[in-house]
């Protein structure tokens, strides 16, 4: 264990020291958020300034891009920004009127930033129209003037810097003039995590692969995705290697997107890796990851179509829900009760000694308990595996339930809510092969049994089997 701690410390020290020489300088780490900076989306108009210390930056040169960490919220009503940068000897704002004057600032960007907004919890990169040549002697002030009326809450990545290193004004009625800013609404030490991008002096680091997870399942319409790894030169393009060989061939070169859409066959194991490139050179290749696709007859469900899916049964009245999902755009959802447990049943599956039920689940509040159950007849259900608990609310957790104790049987599997008032969500379900089954009996409807006086040319009608 001590060796492990030593290793992690070493990695941490390496990571920190690399950061200082990086072409991209990140200031602030962690997962804290703020609503107030760089703009307070919940108010019509904003003017903010934030001070980043020379000791936090420690790199001189042209800043060509600025990144804020976008957490959530719609930007439609907060999209028109003017961004300024400047050198300052201030280390904090001494009062709510202690703005850095506009005369000491350089306008580096003006325009609509909505096209730069990434998916939630990603860096929003704003290319500067005028790069800012930072002297690495003074501190850096970044000012944002937001000029779109209307509002919607937004959230941004933050960290705790020195006290009063952020100052902000917001108003629904007054659009502040950066040349004569009003008395600020407030000051704060919780300012934005940012990245300052300098021209590259080194090749990028190997990209970080995201999805499909290594050794995991993927649906046959899935897309490969990765993110650049910070700490060296910025990646401008990527080479993608993909295929069924364990050292896969190049399939896409110099692409700018951080996704690749492969053609996937059912029941196949694939391998992939990505190389990042820039004008200096190529990164080392990422690790080689593999994933497998389900066969056409395997339990594999993302709840994207009609609900319940074909072959499933829904005695517990679960519903398809599109607010939370792990895969695609929807999941299966049920609100639990303290008196009744609600089951969503899979088709009957053929369980072998290597069978698992692999799925993602989310719960709110975290006190909910989900159970996996099995049944030969969808009437009598027995739990398999332990109760599934949730360490945190509104967080997707990956679960792999070992079904080997049921090997040799064909059973229906079920997701069963515990006796808690909680919202349960299930998505991206992969399980054993679905048991081939003859259809159940049809129900005759007309002519009625024993009917008399029936037409000599009767029309026979019946309803389809329900199983
Ligand atoms: Ca889904």
What are the C-alpha distances in Å from 210 to residues 155, 214, 260, 291? Answer: 23, 9, 12, 12
- The stretch 121-131 carries a mean pLDDT of 94
pLDDT tens sequence across 297-352: 999 999 999 999 999 999 999 999 999 999 999 999 999 999 999 999 999 999 99
pLDDT range class, residue 231, cuts 50, 70, 90 = confident
Beta bridge partners of 66: 126, 196
CA of 457 to the centre of ligand 1 (A): 49
- The stretch 412-431 carries a mean pLDDT of 98
Euclidean distance between CA atoms 440 and 314, whole angstroms: 17
CA of 242 to the centre of ligand 1 (A): 24
With a CB cutoff of 8 Å and minimum separation 6, the contacts of 445 are 461, 462, 463
CA of 385 to the centre of ligand 1 (A): 23
Are 47 and 178 contacting, i.e. CB atoms less than 8 angstroms apart?
yes
Q: Please give the angle made by the CA atoms of 369, 373 and 377, to the nearest 5 degrees.
A: 145
Candidates 196, 195, 197, 172; CA nearest to 70 is 195
- Strands 216-217 and 289-292, sheet pairing: parallel
Are 109 and 80 contacting, i.e. CB atoms less than 8 angstroms apart?
no
CA of 326 to the centre of ligand 1 (A): 6
Candidates 208, 257, 256; CA nearest to 231 is 208
CA torsion 346-352-353-357 (nearest 10°) is -20
CA of 339 to the centre of ligand 1 (A): 28
Handedness of CA 340, 346, 347, 350 (dihedral sign): negative
CATH topology of domain 18-197: Jelly Rolls (2.60.120)
CA of 300 to the centre of ligand 1 (A): 11
CA of 430 to the centre of ligand 1 (A): 12
Name residue, tokens 């694939």.
Answer: 270
CA of 462 to the centre of ligand 1 (A): 35
CA of 245 to the centre of ligand 1 (A): 29
CA of 361 to the centre of ligand 1 (A): 11
CA of 222 to the centre of ligand 1 (A): 12
CA of 305 to the centre of ligand 1 (A): 9
CA of 388 to the centre of ligand 1 (A): 19
pLDDT value of residue 277? 96
Tokens of 143: 């000012």
CA of 52 to the centre of ligand 1 (A): 41
pLDDT tens sequence across 252-268: 999 999 999 999 999 99
With a CB cutoff of 8 Å and minimum separation 6, the contacts of 254 are 237, 238, 239, 277
CATH topology of domain 208-292: Immunoglobulin-like (2.60.40)
Are 433 and 298 contacting, i.e. CB atoms less than 8 angstroms apart?
yes
CATH level 2 (architecture), domain 298-434: Sandwich (2.60)
- The stretch 384-407 carries a mean pLDDT of 96
Euclidean distance between CA atoms 352 and 374, whole angstroms: 14
CA of 275 to the centre of ligand 1 (A): 29
CA of 15 to the centre of ligand 1 (A): 36
CA of 303 to the centre of ligand 1 (A): 5
CA of 429 to the centre of ligand 1 (A): 9
Domain with CATH 2.60.40.10 in the chain: 208-292
pLDDT tens sequence across 88-109: 999 999 999 999 999 999 999 9
Candidates 112, 95, 97, 91; CA nearest to 47 is 97
- Strands 319-321 and 331-335, sheet pairing: antiparallel
What is 330-359 written as a DSSP string? -EEEEE--SS---EEEEEEEE--TT-EEEE
pLDDT of 12 > 90? The answer is: no
Coil, strand, or helix at residue 419? coil
């Amino acid at each position: 264990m001590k060796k492990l701690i030593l290793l992690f410390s070493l990695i941490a020290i390496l990571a920190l020291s690399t950061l200082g020489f990086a072409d991209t300088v990140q200031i602030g780490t962690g997962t804290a958020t703020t609503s107030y900076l760089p703009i307070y989306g919940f108010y019509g108009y904003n003017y903010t300034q934030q001070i980043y210390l020379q000791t936090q930056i420690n790199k001189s040169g042209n800043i060509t891009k600025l990144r804020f960490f976008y957490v959530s919220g719609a930007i439609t009503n907060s999209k028109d920004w003017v961004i300024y940068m400047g050198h300052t000897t201030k280390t904090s704002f001494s009062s709510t009127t202690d703005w850095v004057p506009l005369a000491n600032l350089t306008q580096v960007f003006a325009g609509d930033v909505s096209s730069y907004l990434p998916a939630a919890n990603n860096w929003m990169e704003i290319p500067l129209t005028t790069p800012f040549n930072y002297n690495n002697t003074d501190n850096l002030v970044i000012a944002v003037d937001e000029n779109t009326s209307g509002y919607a809450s937004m959230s941004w990545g933050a960290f705790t810097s020195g006290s009063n290193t952020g100052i902000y004004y917001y108003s629904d009625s007054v659009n502040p003039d950066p040349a004569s800013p009003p008395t600020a609404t407030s000051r704060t030490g919780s300012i934005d995590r940012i990245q300052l991008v300098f021209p590259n002096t080194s090749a990028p680091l190997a990209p970080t692969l995201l999805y499909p997870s290594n050794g995991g399942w993927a649906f046959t319409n899935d897309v490969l995705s990765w993110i650049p790894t910070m700490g060296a030169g910025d990646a401008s393009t990527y080479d993608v290697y993909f295929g069924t060989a364990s050292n896969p061939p190049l399939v896409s070169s110099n692409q700018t997107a951080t996704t690749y859409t492969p053609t996937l066959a059912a029941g196949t194991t694939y391998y992939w890796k990505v190389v990042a490139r820039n004008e200096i050179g190529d990164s080392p290749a990422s690790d080689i990851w593999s994933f497998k696709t389900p066969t056409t007859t395997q339990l594999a469900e993302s709840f994207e179509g009609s609900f319940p899916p074909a072959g499933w049964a829904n005695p517990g009245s679960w519903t398809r829900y599109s607010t939370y999902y792990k895969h695609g755009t929807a999941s299966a959802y049920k609100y639990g009760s303290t008196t009744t447990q609600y089951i969503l049943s899979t088709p009957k599956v053929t369980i072998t000694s290597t069978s698992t039920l692999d799925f993602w689940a989310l719960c709110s509040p975290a006190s909910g308990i989900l159970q996996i159950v099995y049944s030969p007849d969808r009437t009598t259900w027995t739990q398999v595996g332990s109760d599934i608990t949730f360490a945190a609310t509104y967080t997707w957790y990956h679960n792999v339930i070992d079904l080997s104790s049921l090997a040799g049987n064909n059973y229906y599997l079920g997701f069963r809510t515990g006796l808690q008032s909680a919202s349960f969500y299930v998505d991206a379900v992969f399980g054993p092969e679905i048991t081939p089954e003859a259809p159940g009996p049809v129900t005759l409807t007309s002519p009625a049994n024993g009917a008399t006086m029936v037409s000599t040319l009767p029309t026979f009608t019946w309803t389809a089997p329900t199983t």
